[in-house]
Structure 1
C-alpha cells in the first residue's frame, strides 16, 4: 500500500477534496427520486474516500523524515498560492473522518436518505469541507472549507424537518454565523501584522514581529481561537451542541461528531506550529486558556450526563467530555500527553459516532412514534443494494406504516442491541478492554508521575485536578449509561421485541470492530501517535517543506506546439 501511495503522490493529496465535490455535482444531476442509484454512488464515493485516506496515512507513516506532502493547486509560488499539506496529523484525521462518514452513510441508506431533498449531495459536501479543513495550509482556505462544512451541516441538521430540528437549527445557524464573523476578524488582524495567511509563513514570521505589533497579533489569534473554541465545544461556548446534535438525524449526528474535532485539530495545529518554543515572545500563547477551559469543559460534560436519560443527549454530552479531555491535554503542551491524546481522539470519535447511531435504534425500540422517526412514504422502500433481511418472529403483526418504518426483525435483536450498547458504554466511559481505555491510560501514566507534593502550587493545580477529572468523568459516564441501559433493556415493559434492519446494525458493529482492532494493534497505533506528536513539536520540518515547495515549470507556447528551431522564437 505504501508503494502505491508513493506512486500516486503528490496528486493523491487533492483527491479527498475533488472526489466528494465531483460526486456531489453528479448526484445533483440525478433525479431526486432515484434513491437506489444515489445511494450506490454515494457509498462508492465514500468507500473510495476511505481508500484514499488509508493510502495517505500509509505514506505519512512510512517513516521517511520528509513525509510532508505539499500540493500547489494553483501552481503559484509560495507563499502566495493555495497550498494543501498532508502530514501525519492530517492523515490521521482524514482516515477517522472517512471511517465515520462511510458508516454514517451506510446507516442512512436504510431510510434516512429519503426523508428530505438532496441528502446525498449535502453529505458529500460535508465530507469535502472536513477533508479540506484537515489538508489546507493557509487561513483563507481554512475559512473557505470551514464555511463549506458549516453550510452542509445546516442542511443535514434540518434534514427530516420537524419543529425541534428547525428550532435548534436556527440556534445552530446563529452561533456559527457569529463564529464565522470572528474568524474573518481574526484572520484580518493576523494578515495586518504578518502580511501573509499561509500558516507556515506566519509561523516563520512570528519570531520577527515587532514588540509593538505583538499584542495585535495575539488579539487576532485570540479572536480566531474563540471561533474554533466554539466549534470545539469548550465551556461555556458549547451550550448549543447537545440540543442540536440530539435533534439531528442519527447519520447527521454521527458525522457531526467530527465537527468538534475540526476545532481541536486547528487549535492543536496553531499551538504547535505558530506558538512553539521557536516562536520567541509568543511561545506557549493560549496554552493556559486551553488547560483551564478544557478542564471546565470536561467537568461540565461529566455533570451533564447525569441531567438526561435520553441516549441522543447522552451522546452529545459524550462529545463534550471528549473535547474537554483533548483541549485540557493540549493546553499542557507535552509531546507524551499529545501522543496519548492522538490515540484517544479517533477512539472517542468512533465510539461516540457508534453511540449516535445506536441511540436511534434504542429510542425506536421504545416507541415507533418517536418524533422525527417516521420515514416518508415511498413506493420503493428497499436498500440500494441486495441485502437479506433476517426475521425474528413470524407472528409479529405490523401495520403498513410500521413495516415501512422499521423493516423485518432479525434474530436476537435485543441481544445485538444490548451487546452494542455495552461496547459503546465501554468506549464512551473509557473502560477496558477497548481502545479509549488505552488512550486514557496513556494520558494518566504521563500525568501522574509528574505530580508530587513538592510541585503543588497555583500554576500546577490543574495538573493535579485533570487526572482526577478524567477518572471521575469515566465513572459518571458509566453510571449514566448504566441507568439508561437498565431503562431500555432490563425494565420489564409490555412492548414488542425491537426490530431493525441488518444494514442499520452493520455500521455500529464495524465502528466497534475498528476500536477493537485499535486495541489489539495498540502498539503500532501508539508508535504512529508518538511520531506524530514529536513532529508537531518540531515544526521546522513542516515549515521548510511548505516554504520550499515550488510550482511546476509552465511550458512555453512553442513547447505546447512542438515547434523547434527558428519557428520557436517568440
Structure 2
C-alpha cells in the first residue's frame, strides 16, 4: 500500500471526527444541512472502507500499518489494517448509512446533536477496529461509549431513560475494569502495543505472567460485557429494545466490537506460546450459557423489541463458543455468520418500528390471551369473509419473513449458509477418522435448537402481527424508512449469492489471524515515511 493509499488507513477515524466537529458548528435548526453533512460523510466512509477491503483481497501479508505522527512502534500510536479490521469497517459503514437514512424520516429531529453523536460513535468504533495498542483501544472505546449514552437517550421517554441509566452504570463499571486490566498488563509486560506485547509474553517469568493473565482476564470481562455473555448480559435486551429504531440498528455492531476484540487478542496474544489457549474454556462454556439464555429469551419474548435483543445474545453466544473451540475452519464460517447475523438484526430492529407503528400498547397482551382462549365469533367471521392484506403490510410482511428466515438459519439465505459452513466443518471432522468432540456436539445441538426457537417465536409474532392483528390498521410508512431495511436484506441476499468468494475471504482472514508472527513482524518492522517531520526530534524521519 503506497502513496495516498497508505494514508487512507486513518481516514475511517478522521472522517467522522471532522464531520462531528463541523456538525457542532451548524445551528441545530438547520436539520437538513446537518443531515446532508452527516450522510455525505457516511457515504464517503463506505467508499473508503470498500477501498481498504479491496486492498486486502488476495493479500498474504500486512501492508496497512500506519505510524501516527511518524513515530516508530512500539513507542508511538500505530494503526493496523488487516483483512479482519477491513471487513468490520465495511460492515460498520453499511449499517451506519442504513441507520442514518432511516433516521432522516423523523428520528434525527426528536433531539439535539443526533448527527454529531452518530459520527462520534462511528469514530470510536472504527478506531477500535484499527488501533494496534491497548491504551488507544481504551480511548476509542470511551469515545464510542460517550456517544452511545447520548444516542440511547435520544428521543427521551421513561423506558428509554431508565434503560439508559442502567446502560451508563454498567459501562462505567466496564471502563473502570478496563483501566485496571490495562494497568496490570503494563505493569508486568512494560508495553501496551499489541504486537510488542505478543512478542514479550513468552519472555515473561511464570509468576509475573500469572499477573499479566489476570490483567488480560479483567480486560476480557469488559468486552464480554459488551458482547453480552451470560451472566453479564442482563442489561442488553432492555437497552437495545428501548433505543430508537435507527440507534438500535447501529448498536447491532457494538456487541460485535466485543467479539472482535476477544477474537483479536485471543489469537494474537494467546494463540501460541506458554499462555496458549488462555480463556478458551471460559469462552466455550460461557458461550453455551449465553446461547441457551438467548434462545429461552427469544421463546419467552412477547414484544418484538425484546425478541430482537435476545437474538443479539444468540448471535454472541454462537460466536463465543466458536472462539472457545479454537478451530480455524469453523471460525471461517463463524465470520460469515457474524456478518449475516449483524445485517439481519440491524434490519429487524428498524423493521420492528415500522410494524408496531400505531399499535396499542396492550394489543400484544390481549393477543396472547386470545391465543389461549380464542375468539370463536371472530374466527367464524374471518373464515366466511376472508382476509385481505394492503400493499404496505405485504411489503412489511415479506421483510419480516426474510428476517425470520435469516435469524432462524433456514435456507436459502445467508443465515443458513453461514450455519451450514460452521456445522458441516465441525461434523466433517469425523470423515477423516477423528470423531467430533463433546464440545462440537454441544455447539451443533445448541445452534440447531436456537434456530428452532427463533423460528417458533418469529412465526408466532408474524401471525399475531400480520394475520390476527386486533387494530386492523395499516401503519404509515415512508419510502425513506423502507429503503434501509430492504437495503440490508438485499445485502444478505448478495452474501448468499456470493457465498463462495465470501468464504474464501473469511478463510484467508482466519489463516492470517492464526499466524501472529505476521502481525508482530509487520508492526515491529514498519518503516517511518522519509521526508516527513519526526515528532520526537523536529527533523524528518531520517533524523535530519
TM-score by length of 2: 0.91
Indicate whether 1:505 and 2:458 are aligned.
no
1:436 deviates by 1.4
Alignment counterpart, residue 477 of structure 1, candidates 454, 458, 461:
454
Specify the alignment match of 1:518 in structure 2.
495
Distance 1:53 1:556, change over 3 A: closer
| Distance across 1 between alignment mates of 2:16 and 2:258 | 21
Alignment counterpart, residue 235 of structure 2, candidates 217, 236, 240:
240
Specify the alignment match of 1:320 in structure 2.
313
Question: For residues 525-548 of structure 1, what are the alpha-carbon distances to aligned partners after superposition, in whole Å with 9 as ceiling and x for unaligned?
Answer: 000000000110011111111110
1:462 deviates by 2.5
Q: Alignment partner of 1:364: what SS?
A: coil
Deviates more, 1:241-250 or 1:410-419: 410-419
Specify the alignment match of 1:545 in structure 2.
522
Q: Alignment partner of 1:304: what SS?
A: helix
Specify the alignment match of 2:80 in structure 1.
85
Alignment counterpart, residue 146 of structure 1, candidates 134, 141, 145:
141
| Distance across 2 between alignment mates of 1:194 and 1:437 | 43
Indicate whether 1:163 and 2:138 are aligned.
no
Q: Alignment partner of 2:229: what SS?
A: coil
1:367 deviates by 4.1
Specify the alignment match of 1:281 in structure 2.
274
The answer on whether the counterparts of 2:12 and 2:48 sit within 8 Å (CA) in structure 1 is yes
1:191 deviates by 0.6
Deviates more, 1:71-80 or 1:198-207: 71-80
The answer on whether the counterparts of 1:451 and 1:464 sit within 8 Å (CA) in structure 2 is no
| Distance across 1 between alignment mates of 2:469 and 2:135 | 56
Specify the alignment match of 1:379 in structure 2.
none
1:137 deviates by 0.3
The answer on whether the counterparts of 1:290 and 1:327 sit within 8 Å (CA) in structure 2 is yes
Q: Alignment partner of 1:203: what SS?
A: helix
Specify the alignment match of 2:407 in structure 1.
428
Specify the alignment match of 2:417 in structure 1.
438
Q: Alignment partner of 2:65: what SS?
A: strand
The answer on whether the counterparts of 1:157 and 1:169 sit within 8 Å (CA) in structure 2 is yes
| Distance across 2 between alignment mates of 1:70 and 1:19 | 19
| Distance across 2 between alignment mates of 1:450 and 1:310 | 40
Question: For residues 12-41 of structure 1, what are the alpha-carbon distances to aligned partners after superposition, in whole Å with 9 as ceiling and x for unaligned?
Answer: 000000000000011100010111111111
Distance 1:73 1:411, change over 3 A: farther
C-alpha RMSD of matched pairs (Å): 2.0
The answer on whether the counterparts of 2:74 and 2:196 sit within 8 Å (CA) in structure 1 is yes
Specify the alignment match of 2:354 in structure 1.
361
| Distance across 2 between alignment mates of 1:169 and 1:27 | 24
Alignment counterpart, residue 414 of structure 1, candidates 393, 396, 412:
393
Specify the alignment match of 1:407 in structure 2.
none
The answer on whether the counterparts of 1:366 and 1:488 sit within 8 Å (CA) in structure 2 is no
Indicate whether 1:52 and 2:48 are aligned.
yes
1:308 deviates by 1.3
The answer on whether the counterparts of 2:417 and 2:496 sit within 8 Å (CA) in structure 1 is yes
Specify the alignment match of 1:465 in structure 2.
442
Structure 1 residues without counterparts, runs of 5 or longer: 371-409, 558-569
Specify the alignment match of 2:19 in structure 1.
23
Distance 1:478 1:35, change over 3 A: same
The answer on whether the counterparts of 2:359 and 2:471 sit within 8 Å (CA) in structure 1 is no
Alignment counterpart, residue 194 of structure 1, candidates 189, 209, 217:
189
| Distance across 2 between alignment mates of 1:413 and 1:555 | 58
Q: How many aligned positions are there?
A: 509
1:362 deviates by 1.1
| Distance across 1 between alignment mates of 2:469 and 2:142 | 47
Deviates more, 1:464-473 or 1:543-552: 543-552
Specify the alignment match of 1:565 in structure 2.
none
| Distance across 2 between alignment mates of 1:73 and 1:6 | 16
The answer on whether the counterparts of 1:67 and 1:87 sit within 8 Å (CA) in structure 2 is yes
Distance 1:555 1:425, change over 3 A: closer
| Distance across 1 between alignment mates of 2:434 and 2:343 | 36
Q: Alignment partner of 1:216: what SS?
A: helix
Question: For residues 295-354 of structure 1, what are the alpha-carbon distances to aligned partners after superposition, in whole Å with 9 as ceiling and x for unaligned?
Answer: 111111001011212111111011000000001001111110110111111100000000
Question: For residues 419-448 of structure 1, what are the alpha-carbon distances to aligned partners after superposition, in whole Å with 9 as ceiling and x for unaligned?
Answer: 000011111111111111111001101111
The answer on whether the counterparts of 1:125 and 1:152 sit within 8 Å (CA) in structure 2 is yes
- Aligned pairs for 1:95-134 (under 5 A) are 95-134=90-129
Q: Alignment partner of 1:197: what SS?
A: coil
| Distance across 2 between alignment mates of 1:86 and 1:550 | 15
- Aligned pairs for 1:213-252 (under 5 A) are 213-252=208-247
Specify the alignment match of 1:399 in structure 2.
none
Specify the alignment match of 1:343 in structure 2.
336
| Distance across 1 between alignment mates of 2:2 and 2:530 | 22
The answer on whether the counterparts of 1:366 and 1:495 sit within 8 Å (CA) in structure 2 is no
1:212 deviates by 1.8
1:492 deviates by 4.8
Indicate whether 1:41 and 2:41 are aligned.
no
The answer on whether the counterparts of 2:12 and 2:45 sit within 8 Å (CA) in structure 1 is yes
Q: Alignment partner of 1:433: what SS?
A: coil
Indicate whether 1:11 and 2:4 are aligned.
no
Specify the alignment match of 1:307 in structure 2.
300
Structure 2 residues without counterparts, runs of 5 or longer: 364-388, 535-543
| Distance across 2 between alignment mates of 1:367 and 1:25 | 40
1:368 deviates by 9.4
| Distance across 2 between alignment mates of 1:533 and 1:237 | 27
TM-score by length of 1: 0.87
| Distance across 2 between alignment mates of 1:164 and 1:212 | 48
